[in-house]
Amino acid sequence: MKKSVLLFIAFFTATILWSQTTIKGIVTDKSGEPIIGANVFLKDTYDGTSTEADGSFEFATTETGEAILAITYIGFEDFEQAVQLNGGELEINPQIEETANELNMVTISAGAFEASDEKKAVMLSPLDIVTTAGATADIAGALNTLPGTQAVGEEGQLFVRGGAAYETRTFIDGLFVQNPYSSRVPDIPARGRFSPFLFKGTMFSTGGYSAEYGQALSSALILNTNDLATATTTGISLMTVGLGASHTHLWDKSSLALSGNYINVAPYNSIVPQDRKWDKPFRGYDGQIIYRKETSETGIFKLNINGSHGSLGLQTPGFEDVTKTNAFALGNDNFYLNSSFKEILDEHWTLRTGLSYSYDKEEIRELFSVNTNEQSAQAKITLTNNVGQFFKIKFGGEYLLNLYDQKFISSAGEEFTTDLTDNYGAGFAEADIYLSKDFVARLGTRTEYSDMLEKWNIAPRISLAYKTGKKGQFSLAYGQFFQTPEKELLRFGTNLNYEKADHYLINYQILGKKRTFRIEGYYKTYDNLVKQENFTTNNSGNGHARGFDIFYRDKGGTLKKADFWISYSFLDTERDWREFPQAATPTFASRHNASIVYKQWLPKITSSIGFTYSYASPRPYNDPNTDGFNEGRTPAYHDLSFNISYLTNIKRHFTVLYASVNNIPGFKNKFGYRYSNTPNDDGTYTGIAVKPAAKRFFFVGCFISIGQRFSKDNGVTSGDLN
């Protein structure tokens, strides 16, 4: 099933492609000497760069309207200047002043090579996500083309460096997201619930992340939402899987956006052959409210409300005999509210606070029935203090209340109820210390308490970065990470401990204006993993994951108007956990993963095209007809996907026609094998392959933005918006 996030592809893709502003210039001191390595950026965005050997800088931004261009450089006063971003080219040649008491101190860019999540992580813009072929505008789909991830086509979630899907946690504006994906259906990939255009950018840490975040053994997906809307617009979308509408209204210091979508894949399934028998193809609707209010010159309040309902029914393989099918039905209601407030209190202190609430109701009917209700509420506060040019400290705390209620009724009518309540609290502190002009350290610690487990933990974190030249740096990181066991395991008893992972990382990267190269090696150890046997659980499990990742990206450096990246990951991992009889490689882990993503803008025909090729080596599976465990191997996974966007006008309204197709060659991918619980008359366990629901997925959409016009010379422009 494909969710309505595709509604937004066209509007934002075209606006970004045609409304870029290029900002360039030369940064010097008062004597006219060039400043090398100064950090130049637009405040409250991800857009920026660092100055070259001659003090020059140049970067492009898709922001519009008034913005603040900022320059920071240790030993110099911070520089800020208001700029107007209206597309085209903007040249600014700032002069910055040395700090009086630091005239003789060594200097380094105040952030270009800091040991932080922002510099260690690979960041993708919303445009990167929606224009990545094969991702179908899904955040996890795009991130799965980056190194460190696993191609697990039947799940649709993030599996990072040998970690299971639950070990990657999602955070929006610093707050934990309880249900970031749609409900799981057997062998049908889930999708993220949030549009990539809700966010300024996407930070994806594959390990060793900040002490501010916890409860994630393997990885953190950190999403920061957009600020005030930039224009008043109305949108309509017509898609092969549904339709939708949206309206955004901008006032002087506030904005409100409303959107709604209806999805029904029945017409699509009737045209495109399916390998599943659908009793009721997916139908659903969702809505979103986004409110922004500038409370002062430096303060902003954000409110995001998302709600959705969906249901489906299909035939799934039977438990006792997989050659027969059972009727499976799913209904899901989800609600998520996220509010945050940020204010710069003075020249040293910044305050961030947030509140969130999640509700998820899921009803499953097969030979059994499962009704699950989960709610959570979170409050968080963070304070940051720039003590001086060489020292910054961040600290704060959070509280999370989680309520989990599940009722299971077996085919024989037996009823089992799980009722869990957890009051979870955490505190964290972290300091960035610049030891020299080329060396910076981040030291942090996090402590957590769960009253459900009745356990404390303390998790130290450390990151180091050393600048080896104008563009290169080495970095090291170590950290301990804890996570409460999954709810499905806690129903057997809460006398468990946190699961634990230790991360060791070494990284080298080269950051140029148009090219990025990085290679990273890692080693992870797992302890206190949950083992399950005869409806009892304990923390005797353990495991390891080790390997290396390589990433190269070229944004117009080699091919004009082209952007491409190449990713490769090597993984060696084993675990002894859950119901494993011995240590083995999990079924979701493949030893080799690689992706090639290519995008090309064709201005003469006002179109963009993209290709993505993905590869994963064979994954293990367990065949009960053999003596070994998890010794079977699937065929290798291959996928070649394509998309195209065409920009035009329909009755003077900006319009994008979008089309995509996955698995163009029709590779016969198999994600594993499922076996009957009982042998047949010959004593053999019958098995069937786990395959995609369809050989290919096609998507076609028409997106109309009322109140905007498209000009080949001037890009997207606003019309008369009353």
- CA torsion angle 152 154 155 157 (round to 10): 50
> What mean pLDDT is reported for the chain?
87
Adjacent-strand bridge partners of 331: 311, 363
Rounded CA separation 611/596 (Å)? 8
CA–CA gap between residue 80 and residue 75 (Å, rounded): 16
658 or 717, higher pLDDT: 658
What six digits make up the tokens of 497?
Answer: 């401990």
* CATH domain 4-8+119-718 topology: Maltoporin; Chain A (2.40.170)
What pLDDT score does 32 carry? 81
Residue among 76, 69, 54 nearest 23 (CA): 69
Asked if residue 36 has pLDDT above 80, the reply is: no
* pLDDT class of 722 with cuts at 50, 70, 90: very low
The C-alpha atoms of residue 545 and residue 525 are separated, in whole angstroms, by: 7
* 230 secondary structure, DSSP code: S
Q: What residues does each domain of the chain span? A: 4-8+119-718, 9-110
Residue of 491, 492, 495, 505 whose CA lies nearest to 528: 495
Taking only the tens place, the pLDDT of each residue in 587-604 is 999 999 999 999 998 988
Per-residue pLDDT band for 653 (boundaries 50, 70, 90) equals confident
Distance, in Å, from the CA atom of 676 to the CA atom of 686, rounded to the nearest integer, reads 6
Q: Which of 462, 516, 466, 611 is nearest to 124 (CA)?
A: 516
Higher pLDDT, 287 or 121: 287
Tokens of 274: 């399916």
Is residue 83 within 8 Å of residue 92, measured between CB atoms?
yes
In the structure encoding, which two tokens stand for residue 148, read together?
A: 């460190």
Q: Which two tokens stand for residue 56?
A: 């020059």
* Count of Cβ atoms closer than 10 Å to residue 59 Cβ: 16
Mean of the pLDDT values across residues 163-177? 95
Using one digit for the tens of pLDDT, what is the confidence trace for 176-218?
999 999 998 888 899 999 988 888 767 888 988 899 999 999 9
Q: What is the mean pLDDT of residues 251-262?
A: 94
pLDDT (tens digit per residue) in 143-153: 999 999 998 99
Measured between alpha carbons, how far is 470 from 472 in angstroms, rounded to an integer? Answer: 6
Take residue 298 and report the two structure tokens written for it: 């430096």
Give the integer Cα–Cα distance in Å for 180 and 378: 15
Q: Is 9-110 a CATH 2.60.40.1120 domain?
A: yes
Which carries the bigger pLDDT value, residue 42 or residue 593?
A: 593
What is the DSSP-derived secondary structure letter of residue 218?
Answer: S
